[in-house]
């Protein structure tokens, strides 16, 4: 677990509403399953539309899911009126994305005043259990939201 404290008392509602407004997450069919201060979990069913030519989850789709989980984990610690934008990430693909469902976790490592560091982990779920398929490290910049 973590010892982060949210600065927005309604962070979970804000993140949930924001997540489901993202057209790409709707296109993917991704689900937000956990929202905690400093930690977000997304799950994604196996879908043919998200596969590469060899039948595994496409790396671009996987990086998008990891970036989204890391970003919302960072957002969970922001005060009202602030947003996050990814400025850098590194993804390591450890194993083909084969499974019936995928669990993507974003976790804040350090929340600074202007930069937040997070890590992501993607796990393939199958009848044989769980398998770590990718990791991400990400840096995110805090900015003021435009009230309009």
Domain assignments of the chain as residue spans, ordered by start: 11-144
- CATH superfamily, domain 11-144, is Hotdog Thioesterase (3.10.129.10)
Please report how many Cα atoms fall inside a 13 Å half-sphere around the Cα of residue 141, on the Cβ side: 7
129-143 pLDDT tens trace = 999 999 999 999 999
What integer best gives the mean pLDDT of the chain? 95
Question: Residue 2: its pLDDT value, please?
Answer: 65
Q: How many helices (H) and strands (E) does the chain have?
A: 3, 6
> Which long-range contacts link 8-11 to residues 24+ away (Cβ below 8 Å)?
8/78, 8/79, 8/80, 11/35, 11/37, 11/75, 11/76, 11/77, 11/78
Instruction: Answer whether 63's CB lies under 8 Å from 91's CB.
Output: yes
Model-level pTM? 0.95
């Amino acid at each position: 677990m973590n010892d982060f404290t949210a600065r927005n008392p309604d962070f979970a509602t804000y993140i949930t509403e924001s997540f489901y407004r993202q057209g790409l997450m709707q296109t993917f069919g991704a689900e937000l399953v956990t929202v905690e201060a400093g930690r977000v979990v997304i799950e994604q069913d196996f879908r043919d539309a998200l596969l590469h030519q060899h039948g595994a989850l496409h790396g671009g789709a996987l990086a998008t899911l990891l970036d989204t989980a890391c970003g919302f984990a960072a957002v969970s610690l922001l005060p009202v009126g602030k947003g996050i934008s990814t400025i850098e990430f590194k993804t390591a693909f450890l194993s083909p994305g084969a499974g019936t469902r995928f669990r993507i976790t974003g976790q804040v490592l350090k929340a600074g005043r202007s930069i937040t560091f997070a890590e992501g982990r993607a796990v393939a779920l199958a009848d044989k259990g769980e398998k770590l398929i990718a990791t991400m490290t990400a840096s995110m910049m805090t900015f003021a939201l435009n009230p309009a």
